[in-house]
Amino acid sequence: MIEVSHLFKSFDGEQVLKDISAVFETGKCNMIIGQSGSGKTVLMKSIIGLHRVDSGKIEYDSRNLPDMRMRDIRRLRREVGMLFQGSALFDSMTVMENVMYPLEMFSSSTRLEMENRAKFCLDRVNLNEHSYHLFPSEISGGMQKRVAIARAIALNPKYLFCDEPNSGLDPKTSLIIDQLIYEITHEFNITTIINSHDMNSVIEMGENIIFINNGIMAWSGTNKDIYLADNEDLNDFVFASELYKQVKKINQ
């Protein structure tokens, strides 16, 4: 479980996060939603520790990140997997080498054991052997996301962060990636935090949603509650399209 409380973050005097408090539960897909520029990426990067917060607590199972020394942060990060918006695969490495990379860095297993683990992870994200020796530039965006998921779960993380996992993907591939993240979260009992403004993803797997508006946590609930929410900003954001307005009416 990750718990953030009274989080403040500013850049050059401009307050970006204002008193954010939220609980991200274990074994659930926790989603951070909000418009572009609302502060959700800053929130995620602050939770991971890529941004140093001005004040507040970020507790990873009672371990407060802002109080940690760099050495302890590095140790904690070995329990973290991350799926980046642009996949962030290493260009100079093949698919297999990308997944092997965290294992080679931190695992004390033999080469064969590491290869088996990498193959298991790649198999889990439905990538076959033909893709193992291809470079990221030689595979599609959807496949890159799958490789990035395989790399993120290679070390059996306790926490998984996904920054805009569907960015740049077609609706069908987006659905496959969503399902994969959802399944992996439940299968391995991971605390997953997904940063998204894709409404299909929110409705599909938002078991715990927080809505950020202008740096303030304006609403929290589940994908079922969202249809009944009376928060005006949230409704403006979620039901911006005609399709979702119709869906809301049906649900009400």
- Within 82-101, the residues that bind another protein by CB under 8 A are 82, 84-86, 88-91, 101
Q: Which of 39, 102, 165, 206 binds another protein (CB under 8 A)?
A: 102
Establish if 48 lies at the interface with another protein (CB under 8 A).
yes
CB-nearer residue toward another protein: 2 or 218:
2
Q: Which one of residues 105, 110, 242, 250 is an interface residue with another protein (CB under 8 A)?
A: 105
Q: Which is nearer to another protein, 37 or 86 (CB)?
A: 86
**Binders of another protein among 199-238, rule CB under 8 A?**
none
**Which strands make up the sheet holding 216-221, listed edge to edge?**
80-83, 159-163, 191-196, 29-33, 208-213, 216-221
Region 158-197 residues binding another protein, contact defined as CB under 8 A: 161
**Between residues 110 and 252, which has the closer beta carbon with respect to another protein?**
110
Nearer of residues 88 and 216 to another protein, judged by Cβ? 88
Q: Please list, in sequence order, all residues whose beta carbon lies within 8 angstroms of the beta carbon of residue 114, skipping any fewer than 6 positions away.
A: 100, 103, 104, 107
Asked if 193 and 44 count as a contact pair (C-beta separation under 8 A), the reply is yes
Site string for another protein, 54-83 (x = CB under 8 A): -------------------xxxxxx-xxx-
Binding stretches for another protein (CB under 8 A) = 48, 50, 73-78, 80-82, 84-86, 88-91, 101-102, 104-106, 155, 161
